[in-house]
Structures are given as structure tokens and as C-alpha cells.
Amino acid sequence: MRGIRCGAWTTMTVTGRRALVDTGSTISLVRPGTLPGTAGRRLWGWRPTKVLITTVTGESTRMHGKGSFRVSVASCSIDHQFWLANIQDPCIIELDLMTKWVATVDVPRSKLYLSTPHQH
């Protein structure tokens, strides 16, 4: 059946911005206007694309560009690819990035713990 997807999700705050952590997503997405330089027609640091994606609600939306950016948790910095797309949430973080951060979800306490690979 179309439209069915698996995965768990939760929200987190990244430098004052709410982000959806979606274990069913295979890419990380950022909504235009969420990061500096993403609100206008010129997207600094983003490679333009003409890709369309289908959202979880079944709607098609344009992906404006993609770019690799440094993401830091504590003292661990990781280069990760993000796509700029018209989505409802300011940011959707995919499972691969959570794996790099050795994420642990504590469902009973509604907590998401992030650590760095060298801590394990």
C-alpha cells in the first residue's frame, strides 16, 4: 500500500529551533528560512536541484537544493548532507545522522540521548 511508512519520531530543539527526528526518513531536510541564507532566491552554500519528493501526507514538494554542513554535538563535529525543501517542520533529522551521534531513545521518559562515537 502506498503512503504507509515505518519508523519512530520525536522532536528536539537545535539552537532554538524545533526539529523532528524521524527514524523512517532517509534524508535530512530543512525548511527555507530556518537557517541563515535560505529565505531568498540566492541560496549560499546550497547546490540547486530540481528534485520533487512526496511527503508523508502524500503531497509533492520541491527540493530547492542540497548542501553538506558541519553539525556538532558536544565536542564531536560531523559533516552531513541536508536538503532544502518546503516542509511543515523547520527541520527533519534522519536516522543516519542519529546513528552517527549514537542516539538512544528512552521512550518511557520521552528523552533522546545523544553521545559522540568516541564515548562508547
Q: pLDDT at position 13, please?
A: 53
Total number of domains constituting the chain:
1
In a domain, 32, yes or no: yes
In a domain, 1, yes or no: no
Q: pLDDT at position 85, please?
A: 92
- Exposed/middle/buried for 119, CB within 10 Å: 0-12, 13-18, 19+? exposed
Beta strands in 8-59 (DSSP E): 9-14, 17-22, 28-30, 47-54
Q: Return left, alpha or beta for 102; rule: phi > 0 is left, psi -120 to 50 is alpha, else beta.
A: left
**CATH number of domain containing 100:** 2.40.70.10
Give the predicted TM-score (pTM) of the model: 0.72
Domain residues for the domain of 41 are 9-119
Q: What's the grid cell of residue 40?
A: 531568498
Which portions of the chain are predicted below pLDDT 70? 1-17, 116-120
In a domain, 24, yes or no: yes
